[in-house]
Structure 1
Amino acid sequence: MPGTPNSRAPRQRTQKLPAQAQATEGRQPRGTRRKRETRTRLLDAALRLMAERGTDFVAINDITEAADVGFGSFYNHFESKEGIFAALVEWVFEEFADTLDHLASGLSDPAEVVAVSVRHTLMRARREPVWGQLLIREGFSVHALSWGLGQRLLRDSQRGISAKRFVAPDQFMCIVSVTGIIFAAIAAELHFAASVTPAIQRQKVSGLGEQNFAERAATVVLQALGLKLAEAERIAQLPLPTGKPGVKVYRAKPRVR
């Protein structure tokens, strides 16, 4: 995992403001812009530190040091470490869960919805390793199923079971299994993306590594939900929806198993 960033070094923001916020930011008073920038720096620092160390091993002064913000300024934005963590979860995970909902909004097959979500999650982890690290660290916490991603996984699995698309005699254990597969896949994705050792390079060449990794992970998740291998592979290989407003994605009806 990457080391803690230098507190004085400039860093790229992990998250970008929505387009509308970017358009209006320049018209806001200087004090408002500075307050927004400070809050973003604190969240960015908390994200990196908590992804590296875990929530329990990050103190408020660690966050303010990494963000290059005065200790007292922290309390202008958050009441406590738990407060910034809650904001971080909303900032990082809830926003992404909403994005997944938007991407899958035109799909009617629960299996496709799950496959799209798994593939986009793994691709996001590859693009933003710090995000992936935090998801792995906090994904097994007691809060995980109450987050946007956890709630949507529960919702989508319930829909699939109700539609008799998924077979899950024990829904809770099924969700536990699927969640474990996804987090393990993210860990492997990060490992392959970061490693340049000859052994890992040989695994990549042999097909054991990152080749079509997101699709392969989605296939295994669908199998865990009760789909046959051939059907799971077919769905995992479908083109990803664009998520453009007003564009509805039409698919062929699921095959009868």
Structure 2
Amino acid sequence: MTVDKRMPISARHETEGTKGRGRMKASRTDRIRESTRAKLIEAAERTMASKGVDATTIADITEAADVGTGSFYNHFKTKLELAEIIFRSHADDLYKVNMTIFESVEDPALAIAYIQKIFLTKAVRDPVWGWFVVHATSDLPQLSQIFGEGAADHIKRGQALGRFTPVNVDVAVRMILVVLTAGMHDLLLGGKPEEWADDIVGSLLQMLGVPADTATELGRTPLPAEFERMADRTFSAE
């Protein structure tokens, strides 16, 4: 808007002030909208982690987020859409870590061992995330396919290098996800020995054809410090 210089000074200031407030109002509206969306996502993850995806209602989410029910539909069409957004966000974070490990670790069996350890370790460090994944993969089995998208390629690479036996890759991915999710559930409940996660990893490597002694050794190989730090940086940015 062009201010007429012939207008009285007081009138020009009022016009310019109104214009400035208009810009600030639009910016503030955007910030409020993004803040509301973030509140809904955080509240949904916490509530679904506690109650499960199926049992959680939109009213539960908006109450936990302290926003009106109508605000939900300004951002999401359904509860399931929101659950998938949360799930994909975590899957994307894990995928970044996984690809870095596979690009830097020559042995595909050791790389998979590290990846599975990070998966299990994150559940213990972040119980909200862990319980959300446990409930989401149970209530919405189709979401587990998101985690499996990269796993199949990793197994095929190991087969091509002769590290894994030629098992049915789709079946192997499904079994790995089921076992890892069950392992997360047990770790979240507590009371399991310190080597529980290591034994899960070793058992899954045996399923892929790695000899028992080697699989056990790989399962108990400590996660390198640089991968620990990388995982912490990635997940803390959520």
TM bracket, shorter-chain basis: 0.7 to 0.9
The runs of 4+ residues in structure 1 deviating greater than 6 Å are none
| Inter-partner Cα distance in structure 2 for 1:116 and 1:135 | 19
1:214 corresponds to: 197
TM-score by length of 1: 0.70
2:90 corresponds to: 92
**Identity between Structure 1 and Structure 2 (%):** 28
Displacement of 1:158 after TM fit? 1.9
2:118 corresponds to: 120
1:81-160 correspondence to structure 2 within 5 Å: 81-140=79-138, 141-147=140-146, 149-160=147-158
**Amino acid aligned to 1:123:** T
* Greater helix proportion: 2
* CA displacement, residues 86-142 of structure 1 (integer Å, 9 cap, x when unaligned): 211222332233233234431122111210111001110001112111212222444
Verify the 8 A CA contact 2:87 2:143 in the aligned structure 1.
no
| Inter-partner Cα distance in structure 2 for 1:49 and 1:126 | 18
1:1-257 correspondence to structure 2 within 5 Å: 29-140=27-138, 141-147=140-146, 149-192=147-190, 200=191, 209-241=192-224, 242-243=226-227
Verify the 8 A CA contact 1:168 1:174 in the aligned structure 2.
no
Displacement of 1:168 after TM fit? 4.1
* CA displacement, residues 6-51 of structure 1 (integer Å, 9 cap, x when unaligned): xxxxxxxxxxxxxxxxxxxxxxx44433332221111111112222
For the structure 1 residues 105 and 210, does the alpha-carbon distance in structure 2 shift closer, same or farther, using more than 3 Å as the test? farther
1:14 corresponds to: none
| Inter-partner Cα distance in structure 1 for 2:144 and 2:152 | 8
Displacement of 1:76 after TM fit? 2.3
For the structure 1 residues 228 and 154, does the alpha-carbon distance in structure 2 shift closer, same or farther, using more than 3 Å as the test? same
**Amino acid aligned to 2:195:** N
For the structure 1 residues 84 and 99, does the alpha-carbon distance in structure 2 shift closer, same or farther, using more than 3 Å as the test? same
For the structure 1 residues 144 and 48, does the alpha-carbon distance in structure 2 shift closer, same or farther, using more than 3 Å as the test? same
Q: CA RMSD in A?
A: 2.3
| Inter-partner Cα distance in structure 1 for 2:63 and 2:179 | 36
Question: Unmatched 5+ residue regions in structure 2?
Answer: 1-26, 231-238
Question: Unmatched 5+ residue regions in structure 1?
Answer: 1-28, 193-199, 201-208, 246-257
**Amino acid aligned to 1:220:** S
Displacement of 1:239 after TM fit? 4.0
Displacement of 1:145 after TM fit? 4.4
2:10 corresponds to: none
| Inter-partner Cα distance in structure 2 for 1:166 and 1:56 | 37
Count of residue pairs brought into register by the alignment: 202
| Inter-partner Cα distance in structure 2 for 1:81 and 1:237 | 40
Verify the 8 A CA contact 1:145 1:151 in the aligned structure 2.
no
